[in-house]
Chain A
């Protein structure tokens, strides 16, 4: 008579030999998209630390769990149950592809958003309209669209306003969230330069070590020299 247990027809990928294997799998499943690291699993008091490595290898062989690298710390591996997709904490988020931020895609989307607002310079564009465009044409989610808009606000290129139903808000509902370009910042349409930022000292990386009689001083400063060489 064979001592081997028959494989459980309900469980995918084969039987669980050890009593702790199921416990380990349950622990990993509970964390869903974040999974668990070897360190966290070995800390579990209900499973002897010495056998965790073997159990993990066994579960992987049975295709019950997968290994995902943490994009913030590639040396740290997380073990996830097969049915879960890695969460944004591990992958970096929707803007990440293979651990790298898709910067050109983000800049492209931002430029398109600014173009839409430029076309409607005299009015505002509602969040609804912008989401409608980006979801349909650029295949973004509503949340991703909002992230792009928030990022443009941080760039100080656009502003978020609430409609009061009048003037430029005439075709929008009162209280509706809208966007417009920040527009003319100073007299000639250029971004405001800032009095301090317009001089060499304002942007100098060595200001902390500059002194009247020092090696770096205003009388010998090369940045001043360039600035006065017109």
Chain B
């Protein structure tokens, strides 16, 4: 999805808070102008940053996985060298505000030692095993190099941690590919064209055997992350490089894809628990566990098919599902497969196999979020109209909407116009000969609504951040005083500031879940 204005502003704010405004200027330049070479960045960035500073900033952003370098193969026969360009990884910038969610996942699933190793990688961006051991040695609560090594292996085995990608993948020149004549059928089977970011990330990602090695070969005592590969003409191109030089260690980083994958599954279980019941949630959790390893990408629409036997086997492994009989599991599967005007099916049954319909589960939660905004912002009449148009899925004329929503015909246009003005409805005018005024037709376009809501959610996230900073800044001196020495009104004021901080932080946490629901899941 293309970046929206407040998506960019929010991402720039995240980088500014964590790395300062000079770094964020470089980031903003890439966000607004697309992939650029370092020379172009120093020319176009809205600050006086010289070329060497730009390079250092880019290394920092690469270290923290916010930028990826790449080059495009020059055309055949051309004598030009491939120019290295840098592309910003918008998703990874947003992930920076949800590191505590990633930490919690690992602490729950693999324990606190793995959690500590992950925290090291999250705060430093990328480290070798040697650096992780050194970090542990310097910390207050050391757990020992063996424990660090074991934890890292567990994290890699669970795919929470990966080997860093190729520092400078070379993309084939797309213009050189011969134009193939494709029929309509072939065009439908082919997948949608990839964005440049997707191509770069795919080209940089090593195969699974290298990305998640089963056996760690490198020397655990090596504390140097730095080596140079791609050295040409004696110049260093990159600092952080995974090289084949045996004196350097493999460099590791968090695998955000897997975290989002797990959070998506968690969200689906919560959605089902709220809308069905605990039993259905237990069965769904088991199904997700069964099918997880076969899912090739995060945003997969459906799980792999699975039998009742494999589902039941997984259910009874869990503490909550230990006492469930197979009949109960089958009853839950029937419930999950049922449809009504209220809920679609979450599971599809096909030839004695069951498939989880992720798209259906996620869309129910997205619909609830959108409709909650429509209800609170525009009122219950507009809510009925919006739901009617969502169900119809096509253009409908104003009077018909009024009839369906049982609203006054003369009042209906104002509700529809308000929603249209804010980007929640699509409108078309239809002039018919013989009528005095053109017909207005209305439609809910889910893609447009989703984009609009996402942009508003980024805006709201930014606002919550800014407000929190403002609240803390305005009571900065008070908060510096030792709280046990405070009494009376001052103590009350501190309590109030802390309560505001808690409310704003927890709201940002929940809003980020909603952002993931629309952007990542």
Contact = CB atoms under 8 A, between A and B. Distances in A.
Nearest first, the 10 closest Cβ-Cβ pairs linking A and B are: A194-B372, A159-B342, A201-B460, A218-B463, A197-B372, A195-B514, A154-B384, A160-B341, A161-B340, A203-B376
Contacts of B499: 230
Contact of A218 (B341, B384, B464): B464
A100 B410 CA distance: 10
Contacts of A203: 373, 376-377
A157 B453 CA distance: 24
A72 B373 contact: no
B507 A218 contact: no
Given A92-B409, A161-B340, A212 B466 contact: yes
Interface string B220-257: 00000000000000000000000000000000000000
A138 B406 CA distance: 18
B166 to A, nearest CB: 37
B457 interface: yes
Interface in A62-85: 71-73, 76
Contact of A195 (B343, B383, B409, B510): B510
Given A101-B406, A195-B511, A219-B470, A156 B371 contact: yes
B372 A192 contact: yes
A186 interface: yes
A49 interface: no
Contacts of A95: 406
A196 B517 CA distance: 12
Interface string B459-474: 1101110110011000
Interface string A119-151: 000000000000000000000000000010011
A180 to B, nearest CB: 8
Contact of A161 (B9, B341, B453, B514): B341
Contacts of B399: 72
Specify the main secondary structure of chain A where it touches its partner: loop
Interface string A79-118: 0000000000000110100001101001000000000000
A154 B456 contact: no
Interface of B: 9, 274, 338, 340-343, 368-369, 371-373, 375-377, 380, 383-384, 387-388, 399, 403-410, 422, 434, 436, 453, 456-457, 459-460, 462-464, 466-467, 470-471, 499-500, 503-504, 507, 510-511, 513-514
Contacts of A207: 456, 459-460
B194 to A, nearest CB: 30
Contacts of A210: 459, 463
A100 B408 contact: yes
Contact of A196 (B343, B436, B456, B503): B456
Contacts of A208: 422
A39 B456 CA distance: 48
Contact of A201 (B341, B459, B513): B459
Given A154-B387, A195-B511, A202 B406 contact: no
B274 A154 contact: no
Contact of B410 (A72, A103, A164): A72
